Amino acid sequence: MTSKDNKILEVFIPGPAGRLEAKYYRSKKSTSPICLVLHPHPQYGGTMNNKVVVDTFQTFMDNNFSVCRVNFRGVGKSDGEFDNGQGELADAAAALDWLEKENFDNSQCWICGFSFGSLIAMQLLMRRPEINRFVALSPQPNVYDFSFLTPCPTSGIIISGKKDELVPFESINELNKRLSAQKGIKIEFNIIADTNHFFSKADDKLVKSLNNYIAKETALY
């Protein structure tokens, strides 16, 4: 356990359906960037303690972000019940409101989501102009309609496994091409070989990809 681990706090954020359970780390630097990390589908076992979510949270911590991961309504100690994406989007908005109030001097605002969480992250991105960058981990354009990203307002990175058993490569590649064709933004597309939707046995490669992107995109701040 590192010294940083001791500073991860359990918090309860006021949400539209009641309290939202969250884990929060605050950087020592008041102008540090912030990031909200969103978990996979609640009805398929998704929680903020999912390994990919925790690894991503830790990576942002290690890069001196103030970072929050939150349980959607009805998950863990969060109040409410699953609401087919609409309520979860409202939860994410409430969590971002809270994170911004806690870090009003932040230099950048990032949003990150894994699987179903990436859908909610990208929907939130369209509603919150202060978001500077997105990280979409294993998005599912074959399941969810991402056509609302027209245009996508900010740059970001898509990371998926080459052997994703839930998303055909052609589907994720088409999403990348559609976003990359838009003017004024830059999309990075990283396919990790020999791993699946959940980045099994590729934790180090996922973290390396995130570290590289974060270092590049925060260099001027």
Domain boundaries, the chain: 3-217
The domain 3-217 is placed in CATH, from the list 3.40.720.10, 3.40.50.1820, 3.30.70.890, 3.90.1150.50, at 3.40.50.1820
Average pLDDT (10-17) is 98
Whether residue 3 is predicted with pLDDT greater than 80 in this model: the reply is: no
Cβ of 44: how many Cβ atoms within 10 Å?
Answer: 8
pLDDT tier, 17 (very low <50, low <70, confident <90, very high otherwise): very high
Q: Is the pLDDT of residue 121 over 80?
A: yes
- DSSP H or E segment with residue 171: helix 169-180
Collapse the DSSP code of 23 into the 3-class scheme (helix H, G, I; strand E, B; otherwise coil) and give the result.
Answer: strand
Provide CB contacts within 8 A for 130, sequence distance 6+.
Answer: 100, 109
> In which band, very low, low, confident or very high, does the pLDDT at 172 lie, cut at 50, 70 and 90?
very high
| Predicted pLDDT of residue 220 | 76
Q: Name the burial class of residue 45, with classes exposed (0-12), middle (13-18) and buried (19+) by CB atoms within 10 angstroms of its CB.
A: exposed
Mean of the pLDDT values across residues 33-53?
A: 98
- Asked if pLDDT for residue 199 goes beyond 50, the answer is yes
Mean pLDDT of 8-27: 98
φ, ψ of residue 205 to 5 degrees: the values are -70, -40
